[in-house]
Amino acid sequence: MYNSHFKLFIRAFQLTPKLSLSPSRMSSFSMSSRDNISTPPSSPPSFLHSPHKSTHRGSHGVASNYYTTLQATQSIIESSRYPTLDDDRLEFLKLEHSNLAYKVKLHTQRLLTELKVRDAMQVLGKLDQLDITQSSNKIDEVEKNLSRQRSRLLDVQTDLLHHNAGILAKYINNQKLLQPQSHHSQSHFDGRHFHANNDRAILPSNTSGSANKKSPLYEQRIQHLTTELDGERELNQATLAANESLQEQIETLKSQIYDGKNTTAETSQELMLASEKLNSALKETSKYQQLLQEAQSSNSRQVEHSNSLQNRLQSLLEDFSQIVTTRDGITSSIENLCNLLDTYKISYTKSSQNPLETFNSAISSIETQLMVVKEHSGMSEQMEYLTNEKHVMRQRFEYYENQVQQLSDVVANQKIDTEKQKQDFSSVIGEQKEKIAALEEQLGEANLRSKQLESDLSYYKDNNASYERELKLKEENKHNSGVSESEEKLSVQTLRALWKILPTSTQRDGNERLIESNSATLSQGDVDKLKQVLSRSKERTFEHFDLKTFVQRVKTLIDDNRLFLERILNNAETANLYKSNAEKAHKLALDFKTALEAYKRQVLDLQNNLSQASKRDAEIRKERESLREKISEMERNLSKQQQGSELDKLRKSLVNRDDEIQAFKQLQMDKSLGMLDELNSLQIEVADLRQKLRQKGA
């Protein structure tokens, strides 16, 4: 069917430029041959027609329409080769597509995080090269996983697209959308164009004058048009033959459809069974979707936690860069001060290891120089300027005090967090200890019970074995030699002795069992019953001997013995299980104790670090007080002095001293940040230990 359509489209595409040369020619040709020619389809199928696409009135518009029709037909034929998927496979691929897309998103976020961490390590430059190589290895692993997930995602997408293309091709074939339009109207053909459905052709204004004029050129045109008419007639005949073949194919398809309708009744039951299976599969998929949503929510929480850690790391890096810049500024300011003192030939002690000593010596030399300047000059305006500078310095010291207070608050909060984590960990430890104690109690009870059962079983087996041996000996003697009256009396006497040992009818019926057959294990009530039966010989009441009742009671005792042995074996198996569970619990307890000891050691190290930090903070506070006293003394000296041209330089030196104090506090801040990083690492290790303990507990 598609091949016949292709032939028709290609033939029409080849002839349309020849048939649309000029309006006069087309009108004359249509007037002369409209009764003998059946018009071929001149437009593409209705489902390919675009209402917004502007068409031209020349051969280019018709050729483009046929070209698009050919492309659409070719794409439909190619898409019909793609296989379609069943419902289960399609649903599975959709779920896999969503899961893979989410995994690709998570791996990209993780890759960005690892890259930022590696960049941060490279910026710090103080870590070992091993950490940087480990981070690069992690990045390589994440990239490999990401590429694998992306390739799988592309494969799933191609399968889904092939399925959609195959479904569309089947739908088009079933709906017969590739059939040509057969809505031809004779009214359009009579007054418009050669093609019946082209309403946009131009009608010639006057063709009678040109038709009446006969010339050699006109005759040549007529001959040319007659040859074209012959070609068109052949084309029409081919189209008629193709239509007949299409009608035959339609009839065969109708017959197949009729047969398919007959077979649908047979397949209805199979469809019902398939629908039931589909409903069960949908229920299972809903469960899987719920599990997937829970996993996605947990992954989103982990992503949020990683983002928060990343933001915190970025802020710490920014603070570190600021500290480095301030340190460089302080060193440069100290060097400038030293150069200034060298230019003015002021003596001071310079130490390359400790810049604070050089700074203090420079300040003392400046004070002595100021005392010298005091004797020679006095300027009130510069004194006012110095008082203003004094107020500025006080404000800066207040700011520094606030910063120190904030750092102390941060350390206190970290202590509180560690205490909370310690309490949580202790609660978890208590729960684990309670579980271990409960398991040990159960193990002890199981051991006691198994010992009691073994002792009872040994006692019962000894009694039963002695009775069986006596009976066997008597039966062998009886079969070997004839039975005399004396022997019969002895056998009756032995049976009566056994009769005395057996439970009487007042205490238990012949059909009554000592052990309940429904229970799989031996209960305490069964053990109590057995003890009563074994101790019943002491409480014996005399009763008339009967052989039938004696045999019945012996059979019941044999059955009770078999049930009792089965229950004892079950109890022994449960005792072994209790022992194995107790050993596992003991191992878990040992692992937990080792983890707890490691955590305690880490807590002690953290407390030692915090104590050292507090001591260092106290030392810094003392140094700050001493610096305050020195500055107050300098202010008192400066209020009495009358400075000259070197007062501006002295102001610069005081600013440099202020920067040195700030740098010293920044060093303390760096140490506190290092301690915070250690606390974060310890928290991460504690979280890992908790997760391991939960996994072992589960």
What are the structural domain ranges in the chain? Answer: 2-82+164-202+211-267, 87-154, 322-443+590-697
Look at the alpha carbons of 358, 359, 364, 367 in this order and tell me if their dihedral is positive or negative: positive
Say what the pLDDT of residue 8 is.
Answer: 45
CA distances for 578 relative to 583, 584, 694, 698, angstroms: 9, 10, 22, 17
The secondary structure of 485-544, three-state, reads HHHHHHHHHHHHHHHHHCCCCCCCCCCCCCCCCCCCCCCHHHHHHHHHHHCCCCCCCCCC
- According to DSSP, residue 461 is labeled H
- Average pLDDT of the residues in 626-633: 78
Confidence band (pLDDT; 50, 70, 90) for 564? confident
Phi, psi of 669 (to 5 degrees): -65, -40
d(C-alpha 69, C-alpha 43), whole Å: 9
Say what the pLDDT of residue 527 is.
Answer: 67
Say what the pLDDT of residue 154 is.
Answer: 92
Give CA 544 to chain center in angstroms.
Answer: 82
In the numeric block, the tokens 């600013």 are attached to 655
Say what the pLDDT of residue 44 is.
Answer: 40
Torsion angle defined by CA atoms of residues 264, 266, 272 and 275, in that order, rounded to the nearest 10 degrees:
-50
More confident residue, 239 or 673: 673
Quick one: tokens of 26? 């087309």
In DSSP notation, 372-427 reads: HHHHH---HHHHHHHHHHHHHHHHHHHHHHHHHHHHHHHHHHHHHHHHHHHHHHHH
More confident residue, 85 or 516: 85
Question: Which residues have CB under 8 Å from 188's CB, separation 6+?
Answer: 196, 197, 198, 199
Least Cα distance to 574 among 698, 425, 446 occurs for 446
Say what the pLDDT of residue 15 is.
Answer: 44
- Average pLDDT of the residues in 488-502: 62
More confident residue, 272 or 104: 104
Quick one: tokens of 40? 């071929």
Question: Which residues have CB under 8 Å from 197's CB, separation 6+?
Answer: 41, 42, 43, 181, 183, 184, 185, 188
Burial class (CB in 10 A: 0-12, 13-18, 19+), 33: middle
Look at the alpha carbons of 84, 89, 91, 96 in this order and tell me if their dihedral is positive or negative: negative
Residue 150 has pLDDT above 80, yes or no: yes
Say what the pLDDT of residue 634 is.
Answer: 73
d(C-alpha 629, C-alpha 620), whole Å: 14
- Of 14-18, 385-389, 543-547, which gets the smallest average pLDDT? 14-18
CA distances for 501 relative to 190, 495, 504, 560, angstroms: 127, 10, 9, 16
d(C-alpha 36, C-alpha 676), whole Å: 98
Helix (H) or strand (E) holding 491: helix 485-501
pLDDT in tens, 414-441: 667 767 766 766 676 677 667 667 766 7
d(C-alpha 269, C-alpha 275), whole Å: 10
- For residue 482, the SS3 value is coil
Confidence band (pLDDT; 50, 70, 90) for 195? very low
pLDDT in tens, 273-316: 655 666 666 676 666 667 667 766 766 776 676 667 667 666 66
Confidence band (pLDDT; 50, 70, 90) for 47? very low
d(C-alpha 621, C-alpha 128), whole Å: 34
196, 189 Cβ separation under 8 angstroms: yes
- Of 201-215, 225-239, 437-451, which gets the smallest average pLDDT? 201-215
d(C-alpha 511, C-alpha 553), whole Å: 8
- Average pLDDT of the residues in 4-27: 43
Least Cα distance to 495 among 560, 553, 559 occurs for 553
- Of 56-60, 118-122, 327-331, 630-634, which gets the smallest average pLDDT? 56-60
Residue 409 has pLDDT above 50, yes or no: yes
